[in-house]
Amino acid sequence: MTALVSRADGRRRQRSHMGKEMTSAQTLSWFAGHELRLAWRDWATMMAGGRTSRERLVTVIVLMMVAALHWLAFAILKPVLAHGVELDVQTLIVLSATMLTSFSMMLSQAIEHVTRAFYARADMDLILSSPAPARHLFTVRIVSIAMTGALMSALMLSPFINMAAVLDGPRWLSAYAVIAALSALSTGISLVVAMALFRWIGPKRTRLAAQIVAAVVGAALLIAIQAVAVMTYGNLSRLSVLTSPALVAVLPDVSSLVWIPARAMLGETGPALAMLAGCLALLATAIATHADRFATLVIAAAGTSDDVQENASRKRPYRSFTTAQALRAKEWQLLARDPWLVSQTLMQVLYLIPPALLLWRDMGSAESMHIILSPVLVMAFGQLAGGLAWLAISGEDAPDLVATAPVSLTAITRAKIESVLAVVAAGAAPFVLAMALLSLWGAVVTTLFTALASAAAILVQLWFRSTAKRANFRRRQVASKAATFSEAFSSVFWAGAAGFAASGSWYAVGFVALALAVLPITWWIRPRA
Amino acid sequence: MTAPTPTSPALEIQDLRKTFSRPAVDGLSLTIRRGEFYALLGPNGAGKTTTLRMVAGLLNPDAGAISICGIDARTDPIEAKRVMAWVPDEPLIYDKLDPMEYLEFVAGLWGMDAQRAERQARDLIRVLGLESKASTRCNGLSKGMRQKVALAGALIHDPALIILDEPLTGLDAGSARQVKAVLKERVAAGATVIMTTHILDVAERMAERIGVIANGKLLAEGTLDELRTRTGRDGETLEEVFLTLVAETSDEAAAA
């Protein structure tokens, strides 16, 4: 009786909160509308910094870029589609591998996003303390992850899909169904992975473990194919593996069900719709199975932030530090104690595995290997410097303390830059030393251009400095697209310059000029406030 | 480089101005003597925090002069910071350091001798009741504990001027008493404390002089008795005096 009364009270409360009683579908659509509005405002702010006039400018620029990409896709596809696509096993292998690589990246993103849904604090206290069913919010958030993943991939591929449809008929539009299916599948699998991690290792470790799993999943396939290419063919090209006669010989012929995703991508509507239906059903099942545990896990995840970590009893006496030493020691100590941040920062180093293999395989034998390795190392350590520079320069958790210390801003900045460069140097040193055994010139070039790429990445972070919590490291790339693109262009150009310099080509000068040109442009577009 | 002068006021502000979308601080002048406990009061948005952030060197004024212990804070900010400490309302400390490590870092920023720093740190940890948490990383501390760690960081280098923005927010009764005791002890030892607070009882009991600001302007300043006389509220609490002063401003603004 008491239970009945309290349930009735609960229903009455829900009614009074929402004005009238909502059906499940209405609650779902209400949550969806709410999420959509927040997502849109978030995106608009991210792109335009909240200024309406800039929103219009951004829209115009995006439309111009979309038009340019469509033109490019048209130019590329016209000669290809004029001869028709030959449906042989080799084409299907290359396409399937490309789709699988894209899928692994989608899966990686989805694992991160799904796990983050359990740890996001922003509005959870409000929603979980309301009578609205948490499983509805969960459903909306998971579906929105799937839709966002599909949308991002579709946006990237849309110029090619649209132009293929224009040139060769609307059947090519079925590729959109394949993208949606892959995104639904990756989200469904991510949900299962996240739930399994919660069950096996508990909420305290799930976040870090999920991040590592995501990184490994995202990079594993690409690295594995490259590793096979390195070990078998002595180069980093995936095509040498995918187009090898040995692989073609062991795989089934074109009529096999294995090739359904590739055939769907090539414009076969039936397989595309079948894939979409199957993947959506899988996602729906995963959501239905786990939705009821959402609130419990969110609450458990929230409890982990209150976990107390005791440092080993203090034996070491205080040391006298100069300001610079204190700042450097603090940066290194914070970095060493944050495995989540370290794993975020070191993700890029995962991609160094294939070149490291190449180094190991060709140590002392290949004379031109430094030409391939040098740009890879410059790129990776340039990116690493950018990430660390953000942590040191913008990710200051006690900005008031540092700003009120009797030290000049220049001295603070210098100490922070030194702490970044020391970590980059420590990371790059083993690779450079190994390369010196292969080619002294390659080692010199790698050292020089790693230093230049790191300096450029640090400058970008200095010009785009903003106060942020270190925990918001993930958001640094969405917080300023301009900084992200500048950093990326800078790394690419310095890497290019390193490659040409390593080969002794004068083209290196051109790339150096391009890399240097990025800096004044970045300075010009930096935030003025 | 300017050295602090022993006879000059702890803080002297003249015609300080700062405008965001509207004037936040509008020609404010204040003089706070050495060894004084001064409470800066005002309604929300009055300009208290903006004023103190400019004094602490966290915000550049549009105009005006700030002198800390005789040091011009605008021309020689480093020397001014050397004798000053700032405690914000939100304790921004490093989650991954424990209180002892945090204090070691602060001591490093102020270039303190290691032995003296460690002695001071242990004293502060004890006085503020943080002994059981001295080796606990700060992300495991409550807001009140974090506030006390931030306060310890502000006091470790024995500043002559301590500026606190709402230092008692989020503290339980016991912790608030500890903080008040530490601050009183510092004032007794010759330091100057400037504090903003919305807890008027605390200002009434602790502050020797009180300044009330609204709309970035100083409305009144003096001891509690002087403010009572100024508002014609003899024998009334600071709350009554404060509300009268603020209401006068609102009436004047409405009339204008």
Segments of chain B assigned E as strands: 11-19, 23-32, 37-41, 63-68, 71-72, 84-87, 161-165, 192-196, 209-214, 217-222
Interstrand relation of B11-19 and B63-68 (parallel, antiparallel or unpaired): antiparallel
Interchain proximity B109–A325, CB inside 8 Å: no
| Coil, strand or helix at A487 | helix
The answer for B 28-87 residues in CB contact with A (under 8 A) is: 56-58, 78-79, 81-82, 84-86
Predicted pLDDT of residue B26: 93
The closest CB to that of B97, out of A307, A319, A333, belongs to A333
Q: How confident is the model at residue A251 (pLDDT cuts 50, 70, 90)?
A: confident
Interchain proximity B111–A408, CB inside 8 Å: no
Interstrand relation of B84-87 and B161-165 (parallel, antiparallel or unpaired): parallel
Closest CA to A145 of A204, A189, A177: A189
* Contacts for A289-293: CB closer than 8 Å, 24+ residues apart: A290/A138, A290/A191, A290/A192, A290/A195, A291/A135, A291/A138, A291/A139, A292/A135, A293/A195
Nearest chain B residue (CA) to A308: B140
**Is the distance from CB of A110 to CB of A149 less than 8 angstroms?**
yes
List CB contacts (< 8 A) between A305 and chain B: 139
Predicted pLDDT of residue A352: 65
Which residues in A144-159 are b (16+ Cβ under 10 Å) and which e? bbbbbbbeebeeebbb
Q: Report the amino acid identity of residue A169.
A: G
Q: How confident is the model at residue B199 (pLDDT cuts 50, 70, 90)?
A: confident
pLDDT > 70? residue B215: yes
**Is the distance from CB of B95 to CB of A397 less than 8 angstroms?**
yes
Nearest chain B residue (CA) to A334: B96
**Is the distance from CB of B54 to CB of B66 less than 8 angstroms?**
yes
Q: ipTM strictly over 0.90?
A: no
Higher pLDDT, A25 or B245: B245
Q: What are phi and psi of A31, to 5 degrees?
A: -60, -40
Least confident of A1-5, A40-44, A362-366, B212-216: A1-5
Q: Is B146 within 8 Å of chain A by CB? A: no
Q: pLDDT digits over A102-128, tens only?
A: 888 889 889 988 988 888 766 777 777
Q: pLDDT digits over A385-406, tens only?
A: 988 888 888 888 888 898 899 9
Interchain proximity A311–B136, CB inside 8 Å: yes
* Contacts for A314-318: CB closer than 8 Å, 24+ residues apart: A314/B100, A314/B134, A314/B135, A317/B114, A317/B115, A317/B118, A318/B104, A318/B107, A318/B114, A318/B115, A318/B117, A318/B118, A318/B121
Interchain proximity A329–B117, CB inside 8 Å: no
Dihedral sign, Cα of residue A490, residue A496, residue A500, residue A505: negative
Segments of A68-130 assigned E as strands: none
DSSP state of A12: H
Minimum distance, in Å, between the CA of residue B75 and any CA atom of chain A: 12
Least confident of A8-22, A209-223, A282-296, B182-196: A8-22
Higher pLDDT, A391 or A193: A193
**Is the distance from CB of A443 to CB of A432 less than 8 angstroms?**
yes
In total, the C-beta contacts within 8 angstroms joining chain A to chain B are 117
Higher pLDDT, A478 or A176: A176
pLDDT > 50? residue B22: yes
Tokens of B188: 């007794």
Matching residue, tokens 């000669």: A79
Count of C-beta atoms within a 10 Å radius of residue A409? 10
CA distances (Å), B168 to each of B44, B47, B99, B221, in order? 16, 19, 19, 22
Interchain proximity A326–B135, CB inside 8 Å: no
d(CA A527, CA A463): 8
Matching residue, tokens 């500890």: B178
Q: Is B142 within 8 Å of chain A by CB? A: no
Q: pLDDT digits over A88-99, tens only?
A: 888 888 888 888
Residues 6+ apart with CB under 8 A from B108: A320, A321, A322, A323, A325, A326, A327, A329, A330
List CB contacts (< 8 A) between B150 and chain A: 401
- Percentage of chain A modeled with pLDDT above 90: 20
**Is the distance from CB of A434 to CB of B136 less than 8 angstroms?**
no
Q: How confident is the model at residue A357 (pLDDT cuts 50, 70, 90)?
A: low
Minimum distance, in Å, between the CA of residue B101 and any CA atom of chain A: 9
Q: pLDDT digits over A308-328, tens only?
A: 566 665 567 888 888 888 989
Q: pLDDT digits over A360-394, tens only?
A: 665 545 566 777 788 888 988 888 898 888 888 88
d(CA B206, CA B203): 5
Q: pLDDT digits over B239-251, tens only?
A: 888 888 888 777 6
State the pTM of this model: 0.70
Higher pLDDT, A3 or A425: A425
